[in-house]
Amino acid sequence: MGQRIAELGALLRCLGMSRGLPAAAAIAYRSMPELGAAYDRVAAPLVDECLAGSGEHAHVVASLRPAALKFGLAVLGYAALVDRRPPLEAVVLAGAVTRLYDDLIDGGSDPSADDRLADLLGNRRFTPATPVETLLGRLVRGIERRLHHPPDAALLDALVTLHEFQVLSRRQREPDVPTDVLEKIIRGKGAAANLVLCGVVKSPLAPAERELAMDLGEALQSLDDCMDVECDRANGVTTLASRGVVTLDGVARRLLELRADMVRCHGRRASAPYCGMLFFLLLKTWAARRLPALGRLARGPARRSAALAFLSRADDALPPAPPETAR
């Protein structure tokens, strides 16, 4: 009961962030059809071409599009914050890469794949060994061709760092993984992943923008872990949230601190839509934990409508490896 009250109190303290909800909703309303059309133009043909006849094709087709749109919408939220307009094709490809790469790490059982993916993300010669790896490589190269700016050294370093943390994240399947290792994984992975996605919008980032992007990534990763506590436990994945080290009210307090940092960096007016998006994610996580029936009620329309895809948790493109086979 005490934790429920603390979460509700934290949510109420964040109500000021909700002033940006109308602007965030307007961005989502305008952008979702455009993102869907961009995905169908550039990503869907690659999926069909690379996975035709493979066992993964149907599942990847069903899961990759909503995930790409969901991540893409988050990228466009950051674009509004920094007053940039990235190419939509690069945005949806980045969302698809995020989902597919994460699932390759979680579901893979080939130890040599880590080195191959390191080559891909390190901008070295990449020789795929499976149709899914071929698809990932084509998606990554597609982003490079469509960016309005060449990736700078800091963005390439962030990709390498992200891969290191993703490989390390397999230790989350160890039931006795030390808490300090968990903290290193989760905070590092969230910071690097968000830095990479922000780099799709703007590169290079100013030092203050870079620090803010990393801090937001850590908070968003913690928020995602709070949302997925039961799912992670079912899959044998340990997080700071599943151990009770990170709580939803703690994440809410951190988001309020980051709101102040955002206003200092970008101004109150520009920050409003992004803060509205953060409040929506916080509210969605709280509702999923405390009002699960409401979440199940919204899931059906969300899965049927591209415009509401962000309301539903995107399925994995590839199934996670069971704990006994995780590397």
What is the pLDDT tens value at each position of the chain, 327 positions in all?
788 888 888 889 999 999 999 999 999 999 999 999 999 999 999 999 999 988 889 989 988 999 999 999 999 999 999 999 999 999 999 999 999 998 888 776 677 899 999 999 988 999 999 999 999 999 999 998 998 777 778 888 899 999 999 999 999 999 899 999 999 999 999 999 999 999 999 988 999 999 999 999 999 999 999 999 988 999 899 999 999 999 999 999 999 999 999 999 999 999 999 999 999 999 999 998 888 766 555 455 445 454 445 455 555 544 455 554 444
Peptide bond into 204 cis (omega under 30): yes
**Residue 63 belongs to a domain:** yes
pLDDT score for 123? 85
**Residue 31 belongs to a domain:** yes
pLDDT score for 59? 87
SS3 category, 221 = helix
pLDDT score for 195? 95
Number of domains in the chain: 1
What does the alpha-carbon distance between residue 313 and residue 97 come to, in Å, rounded to a whole number?
Answer: 17
pLDDT score for 301? 47
Per-residue pLDDT tens over the stretch 181-213: 999 999 999 999 999 999 999 988 999 999 999
**Residue 251 belongs to a domain:** yes
Tokens of residue 80, six digits = 């509004």
Those residues whose C-beta lies under 8 Å from the C-beta of residue 226, and which sit 6 or more positions away, are 241, 246, 247, 248, 251, 285, 289
> Measured over all CA atoms, what is the biggest interatomic distance in the chain, rounded to whole angstroms?
55
Those residues whose C-beta lies under 8 Å from the C-beta of residue 273, and which sit 6 or more positions away, are 20, 23, 24, 27, 77, 80, 81
pLDDT score for 297? 55
What does the alpha-carbon distance between residue 235 and residue 151 come to, in Å, rounded to a whole number?
Answer: 35
**Residue 7 belongs to a domain:** no
**Residue 325 belongs to a domain:** no
Structural domain boundaries enclosing 102: 20-320
Burial environment of residue 18 by CB neighbours within 10 A (0 to 12, 13 to 18, 19 or more):
middle
**Residue 280 belongs to a domain:** yes
Contact criterion met (CB below 8 Å) for 24 and 276: yes
Handedness of CA 299, 224, 92, 105 (dihedral sign): negative
**Residue 160 belongs to a domain:** yes
Burial environment of residue 132 by CB neighbours within 10 A (0 to 12, 13 to 18, 19 or more):
buried
Task: Name the nearest CA neighbour of 277 among 72, 5, 132, 135.
Answer: 72
Q: Which CATH number fits the domain that encloses residue 174?
A: 1.10.600
- Secondary structure (DSSP) of 118-179: HHHHTTS-----SHHHHHHHHHHHHHHHH-SSPPPHHHHHHHHHHHHHHHHGGGGGSTT--H
pLDDT score for 71? 93
What does the alpha-carbon distance between residue 34 and residue 266 come to, in Å, rounded to a whole number?
Answer: 26
- Secondary structure (DSSP) of 41-97: HHTHHHHHHHHTTSTTHHHHHHHHHHHHHHHHHHHHHHHHHHT----HHHHHHHHHH
**Residue 163 belongs to a domain:** yes
pTM over 0.85: yes
- Token look-up 């059982």 returns 109
Tokens of residue 324, six digits = 């006994």
What does the alpha-carbon distance between residue 69 and residue 31 come to, in Å, rounded to a whole number?
Answer: 9
